Amino acid sequence: MRISLILLSAAFLWAASKSPIGPVTTQAGNDKLAITATVYCTKDEVKEQLGSDLGGYFIVVKVDLTPKGKLAVSPDDFLLRSYKDGQKSQPFAPSQIAGRAALVVRSTGNGGSVAADAGGPVWGPGLGGPMWFPGSGGVSGGSATSDTSSAEAKIDTNANAKEDPLLAVLKAKILPDKQTAEPLSGLLYFSLEGKYKAKDLVLQYNGPAGKLQLEFKP
């Protein structure tokens, strides 16, 4: 009986060690600004924050800022980098994620539709997967082929489309762009190709308060 209990306890501890650790929080600061950041990497973590997992194409970071005096704050002050493969992403605006404009790529040949240059996925009404802005070399849409000579792309804005309800959520929760001397918090939306753990990522701040680096070490 005692041996069975020992084995059961060992199995429980092993399973616990293999379970996800959840969101990771880190801090950094100087004499002008203190930052606390929490990263949400998995689809479940993102969905808990936004009510949508954004198709698994986004990493969400919550930042809590404490200025030490009046300070201009903007999402553009931040950059997410990957130690894993060197990728980097600036924050996406809500309209880039759930807006009415999307990059539409059509092929005039037989190979399906592709985007030879890409920067990050864009979700919107009626989109079945990520669409891409020009920028970093990804592929999206249809069946990708190595022949892109017959592909053409344009920005398609559907003024008659209904606004995605997700857009209001993204706007309400994003880090505000403002001047403040009071504590401020909000979300930042990043996109990196592939899957990442918190330990793979570093959030960089480069703004009016100087430069700060936040590593997400469990």
User: Rounded distance, CA 110 to CA 79, Å?
Assistant: 39
Question: Quick one: pLDDT at residue 101?
Answer: 55
Question: What rounded mean pLDDT belongs to the chain?
Answer: 74
Strand, helix or coil at 126? coil
142-152 pLDDT per residue, tens: 333 334 334 34
- Backbone phi, psi, residue 28, to 5°: -160, 160
Q: Which two tokens stand for residue 193?
A: 């190709």
> Using CB atoms within 10 A of its CB, is residue 58 exposed (0-12), middle (13-18) or buried (19+)?
buried
Structural domains of the chain, with CATH? 21-94+164-215 (2.60.40), 100-142+149-162 (no CATH)
Band of pLDDT at residue 135, cut at 50, 70 and 90: very low
191-200 pLDDT per residue, tens: 998 889 999 9
User: Rounded distance, CA 197 to CA 179, Å?
Assistant: 33
Instruction: Please check the confidence at residue 42 and state whether its pLDDT lies above 90.
Output: yes
Instruction: Please check the confidence at residue 138 and state whether its pLDDT lies above 50.
Output: no
Instruction: Please check the confidence at residue 25 and state whether its pLDDT lies above 80.
Output: yes
> Using CB atoms within 10 A of its CB, is residue 5 exposed (0-12), middle (13-18) or buried (19+)?
exposed
Q: Which two tokens stand for residue 108?
A: 């005039």
Q: Considering the entire predicted model, what is its pTM?
A: 0.69
The residue that leads in pLDDT, 157 or 106, is: 157
Instruction: Please check the confidence at residue 36 and state whether its pLDDT lies above 90.
Output: yes
- The letter for the amino acid at 67 is P
b/e map of 9-22 (b: 16 or more CB within 10 Å)?
eeeeeeeeeeeeee
Instruction: Please check the confidence at residue 125 and state whether its pLDDT lies above 90.
Output: no
Question: Quick one: pLDDT at residue 165?
Answer: 87
65-119 pLDDT per residue, tens: 999 999 999 999 999 999 989 999 999 999 999 876 543 434 344 443 333 333 3
Query: Who contacts 48 (Cβ-Cβ below 8 Å, separation ≥6)?
Result: 40
